Amino acid sequence: MTYLLISIPFLLVAAGIALVAHRRARRPGAPAEARMPWKAMLAAGALLMLLTAIFDTVIIGVGLVDYDESLILGWRIGLAPIEDFAYPLAGVILLPALWALLGGRRDAS
């Protein structure tokens, strides 16, 4: 099994939950907290991808982590295989979607 095949289910689950959150937020009468923060997700995603590229390159470069070349696509950003970016991407999609679905911030009163 390749690293890509391991990553795909996580991405599909995250995308599915985000789609549910997006559709629920578009219904008439949906609270403002239910809206997906697309601009913030894009900014956080870009920053997280940059940090992943930097830190994965460092940890691979110093020998803390290594990948079986037969299990990766071969595309890399720095030293990081492209598959390494699936989990941060899934997190950037999934966490705001769950936040929107679960009601976001609530006042303590």
Residue 32: which pLDDT band, with cuts at 50, 70 and 90? low
| In a domain? residue 39 | yes
Which residues, including other chains, have CB under 8 Å from residue 76's CB and lie 6 or more apart? 82
Alpha helices in the chain, H assignment, sequence order = 3-26, 38-61, 86-101
Cα–chain-centroid distance for residue 57? Answer: 19
| In a domain? residue 94 | yes
Q: Higher pLDDT residue, 81 or 29?
A: 81
Hey, which of 19-28, 29-38, 83-92, 99-108 has the most confident mean pLDDT? 83-92
> What whole-number distance in Å separates Cα of residue 49 and Cα of residue 58?
14
Structurally, how many domains does the chain consist of?
Answer: 1
| In a domain? residue 107 | no
| In a domain? residue 108 | no
How confident is the model at residue 8, as a pLDDT? 92
